[in-house]
Amino acid sequence: MNTLQAQDLPQPSSTQRDADDRLIALSIDGSQGFPAQEENSWLLAIDGSDYSLRAASEALRLSCQSGDCSFHVVNVQHWLSKEAAESELLHRGWAATKGARALLDQAGKPWRLHVLMGDAAEHIVNLAKRLGVRGIVVGSRGLGATENLLIGSVAYKVIHLSPVSVLVAR
């Protein structure tokens, strides 16, 4: 049973809609705000799994070595109907990123959450390009080559599509 209520959800700072007026993307700034200058920002792909939480931990560990930085946290949901997107997109993205956002808040790192709908790898790479991030951090279950060929892997696709460095944490 899900205990997250609508009143517990923040208001998005920005939204995007498609030609049918369906909500397809939204952004939320963290409690510490987000810096105007993003010279050392990273894109952290979070799907709510333990693997993506490990990726968040690794991103924090490495970022502490390179000084001040900020994080764009991205969660990509499967396509939802127009009605479901209105009621569920923010809810699902907020719930899936809870652990990663808590880690970033605890470390005092500014973050901005992006919740999108569609193909995860393509959206992650396109967002990285648009934002001009330093790199992408993504978790992986560590499947072998055969499993990746059969079911695909978001991390594998991101590595091959990305114009910036990609850190895969297992």
Please provide the average confidence, as pLDDT, over all residues in the chain.
87
> Is the residue at 5 inside a domain?
no
CATH number at residue 93: 3.40.50.620
Q: Please say if the pLDDT value at position 17 is more than 70.
A: yes
> Is the residue at 23 inside a domain?
yes
User: What domain range includes position 152?
Assistant: 17-169
> Is the residue at 2 inside a domain?
no
The DSSP letter of residue 24 is E
pTM of the model: 0.88
> Is the residue at 154 inside a domain?
yes
> Is the residue at 11 inside a domain?
no
> Is the residue at 120 inside a domain?
yes
What is the predicted pLDDT for the residue at 102? 95
What is the predicted pLDDT for the residue at 150? 41
What is the predicted pLDDT for the residue at 2? 52
- pLDDT grade, residue 153 (50/70/90)? confident
pLDDT, tens digit (0-9, with 9 covering 90-100), for 63-95: 767 677 899 999 999 999 999 999 999 999 999
> Is the residue at 3 inside a domain?
no
Q: Is 58 exposed, middle or buried (0-12, 13-18, 19+ CB in 10 A)?
A: middle
> Is the residue at 6 inside a domain?
no
**Pairwise pLDDT comparison (170 vs 110), residue with the higher score:** 110
User: Residue 46: which of 77, 9, 4 has the closest Cα?
Assistant: 77
Total domain count for the chain?
A: 1
Distance from chain centroid for Cα 74 = 2
pLDDT, tens digit (0-9, with 9 covering 90-100), for 48-57: 988 889 999 9
What is the predicted pLDDT for the residue at 1? 42
Backbone angles phi, psi at 130, to 5 degrees: -65, -40
